[in-house]
Amino acid sequence: MAKPGLDTELRRSAERTSESILGAARSDAKRLGTESERVVEDRRREVLKDKEAEYGAEARVAIAAERHAAMRAVLLARTHLVDRVLERAQALLPDVARNEAYLATLSSELTDALQFVEAEGTVVRCSEDLGPAVRDRMRDRPAVKVEPEADVGTGFVVVGAEGTVVVDGRLETRIDRLASVLAIEIHTRLQEEP
């Protein structure tokens, strides 16, 4: 009889051991599950943070590229406007050369240009339209020869003896020299407008 009691006791001990092992396994499984969920959540947050940083960087690059493209388009448009203004100014030069205001300053401009050359052998080349006005202003300087030419442009060019000194008084040259200043002024005024 002792044997059945021993079997019962062994069975009970085995059940307690198995319950204890099963409880520990359930506890370990629950702990591992909770720990796994925490690790997965941490990893998910890390991946989201990395993706947000990546997408943020891509967005900043895209915004900068669009801003650059917009600024480039505005600058090109303004440059085309400056070019059109300068072309229009060039087209108006023949009329300006016949203008009373220009003709009134012609004597002083010729005098300023002639100070850089010696009178003997000096030639003033000018447009055919301006020829009579230049001759009139050069009456008191017989040593200076006036040569009207069709391809001179608007204004005059003073050429010293043997071509050693050339003073370019053409209006086209003046506009070319002022082009950068005019471009800055036009750009400034465009920025000031609402």
**Among the four given CATH numbers 3.40.50.720, 2.40.50.140, 3.50.50.60, 3.30.2320.30, the one describing domain 98-192:** 3.30.2320.30
Element (DSSP H or E) covering residue 51: helix 2-97
pLDDT band for position 125 (cuts 50, 70, 90) = very high
Terminal CA-to-CA distance of the chain, rounded, Å? 111
Mean pLDDT of the chain: 85
Environment class of 75 (CB within 10 Å of its CB; exposed 0-12, middle 13-18, buried 19+)? exposed
Q: For the residues 30-36, what does the mean pLDDT come to?
A: 85
Both structure tokens of 77: 């448009």
pLDDT band for position 1 (cuts 50, 70, 90) = very low
How many residues appear in the chain? 194
Dist. CA 91–CA 127, nearest whole Å: 15
pLDDT band for position 96 (cuts 50, 70, 90) = confident
Both structure tokens of 79: 């440059």
Sheet (strand 156-159) strand order: 145-148, 123-126, 156-159, 166-168
pLDDT in tens, 48-63: 888 888 888 898 999 9
**CA triplet 91, 181, 78: central angle to 5 degrees?**
70
Q: For the residues 87-91, what does the mean pLDDT come to?
A: 88
Dist. CA 174–CA 156, nearest whole Å: 11
Q: What is the DSSP letter of 143?
A: T
Dist. CA 192–CA 184, nearest whole Å: 12
In the chain, where the domains are located: 98-192
Q: For the residues 136-149, what does the mean pLDDT come to?
A: 88
Using the predicted structure, report yes or no on whether residue 124 has a pLDDT greater than 60.
Answer: yes
Q: What percent of the chain has pLDDT over 90?
A: 13
Using the predicted structure, report yes or no on whether residue 2 has a pLDDT greater than 60.
Answer: no
Q: What is the reported pLDDT for 117?
A: 83
**2-97 vs 171-192: helix axis angle to the nearest 10?**
140
Dihedral, 177, 180, 181, 186 alpha carbons, nearest 10: 130
pTM over 0.75: no
Dist. CA 143–CA 156, nearest whole Å: 17
Q: What is the reported pLDDT for 67?
A: 93
